[in-house]
Amino acid sequence: MLMKYISPSMSRRRAVSTTIYHVLMLLVSFLMLYPVLWLIASSFKPNGDIFTTATSLIPDQSTLEHYIKGWQGFGGYTFTVFFKNSLFVAILSAIGMTISSALVAFGLARIRFKGRNVWFVLMIITMMLPGQVMMIPRFVLFNKMGWVGSYLPMIVPSFFASGFNIFLIMQFIRGIPRDMDEAAKIDGCSWYGVFFRIIVPLIVPSLVTVGVLTFMGSWEDFMGALLYLNKPATYTVAYALKMFNDSSMSDYGATFAMSTASLVPVLTLFFFFQKNLVEGISVQGLKGCVFHISTRRICVCSVSTDFPPSHWWRLTPIFPSGCPLTR
């Protein structure tokens, strides 16, 4: 057996290059996070010290007055109302986008029908249209439908999927062998059974990715609230921050405090689902699987390393009795 020999000089050079790499990554990460750190630090500073000590991230005097005053809101509505509104819109949008994108992606990736390629091209074209192009036509349409002043223009479009999310889930589904579909069809599954029993458990990472990205986009959506909401009781957090700053004579401390508070749900969601986010973007489903068809169920005999072992448990609802070939 051949053994590689690494000289002490090569080992030292590798250690030096690794150290330099990590130092550079730390510097770049700090530069990217500096605005957020400055925002958090400024939310604890008195108003008189926010800009006079702007170069310092450590407050000379800390205070929670901005959080107390900012949470009281404006117009008789506290920020609790705005947080509830944002959660309502973001959760429904995430659910609608995830379900609709998964169904459309499955149809385009698996079901052969006339004009499928044409519909796929049209879906790709929608990804090239800037949101500003559709802004005025959508406003005119929703205004004629009487939806302006409600959450419907911000929620209903999410139930009709989007090109990027469809494409993301399609790439994940295409990594799953078609043999699984054929085996399920032989066992009597319909297309609905194939989708819910086989495809959905295997594309959970991509579904989580779509849901989290949609939630974050809806939570931070300022333009939609600006166009469609006209009552303070319906304002979301993104729009309330702007109105709050206007109505309180530019109270920057309270604005920074509520901006910091608005980051908590998004950061919490990201930390809880960061593993699924990485897998949803990098993992391409199952590859190289071997199947055995029994009279009542399909069993996976081997799964390639493209699908992490930590997710093999997702196959157990489909194949509860294990594979007879491995007994």
Residue 249 burial by CB count (10 A; 0-12/13-18/19+): exposed, middle or buried?
exposed
H-state helical runs in 152-222: 152-155, 163-174, 179-186, 191-194, 200-202, 204-219
If residue 4 lies in a helix (H) or strand (E), which one and from where to where?
none
DSSP 199: I
5 is a domain residue: no
Cα separation of 238 and 242, whole Å?
7
The CA distance from 159 to 149, in Å, is 19
Given the structure tokens 């939609």, which residue do they identify? 224
Residue 53 shares a structural domain with residue 176: no
Encode the chain (327 residues) as per-residue pLDDT tens digits: 444 555 677 777 888 888 999 999 999 999 999 999 999 999 898 888 888 888 888 888 888 888 998 898 887 888 999 999 999 999 999 999 999 999 999 999 988 888 888 998 988 888 888 888 889 999 999 999 999 999 999 999 999 999 899 998 998 898 888 888 888 888 888 888 899 988 999 899 899 999 999 999 999 999 999 999 988 899 999 998 887 766 545 678 888 999 999 999 998 988 888 877 777 666 554 443 433 333 333 344 333 334 444 444 344 444 444 443 333
How far apart are alpha carbons 298 and 275 in whole angstroms? Answer: 28
Structure confidence at residue 62 (pLDDT): 84
12 in a structural domain: no
How many folded domains does the chain comprise?
3
* 196 and 306 in a common domain: no
The reported pLDDT for the residue numbered 281 is 64
Q: In this structure, is residue 210 part of a structural domain?
A: yes
Place of tokens 């990205």: 213
204 and 96 part of one domain: yes
Same-domain pairing of 313 and 234: no
Torsions phi, psi of 220, nearest 5? -95, 5
Judgement on whether residues 29 and 153 belong to the same structural domain of the protein:
no
Are residues 99 and 131 part of one domain?
yes
Helix axes 252-282 and 237-247, enclosed angle (nearest 10): 160
Q: Could you tell me if 88 and 152 lie in one domain?
A: yes
Do 31 and 107 lie in a common domain?
no
Q: Given this model, what pLDDT does residue 75 score?
A: 79
Domain boundary (282, 298, 314) is at 282
Q: What are phi and psi of 6, to 5 degrees?
A: -110, 120
Task: Please tell me the distance from the alpha carbon of residue 73 to that of residue 245, in angstroms, as a whole number.
Answer: 10
Enclosing domain of residue 182: 70-282
How much is the pLDDT for 311?
43
Residue 11 lies in a domain: no
| Residue 10 placed within a domain | no
Alpha helices in the chain (DSSP H): 8-42, 65-71, 79-110, 116-128, 131-144, 152-155, 163-174, 179-186, 191-194, 200-202, 204-219, 223-228, 237-247, 252-282
- Other beta carbons less than 10 A from residue 269's beta carbon: 18
Sequence length of the chain is 327
Q: How far apart are alpha carbons 254 and 175 in whole angstroms?
A: 49
4 assigned to some structural domain: no
Q: Within 13 Å, how many C-alpha atoms sit on residue 271's CB side?
A: 6
- CA distance linking residue 210 with residue 60, whole number of Å: 42
Contact 98, 214 (CB under 8 A): yes
Question: Tokens at residue 143, please?
Answer: 């205004």
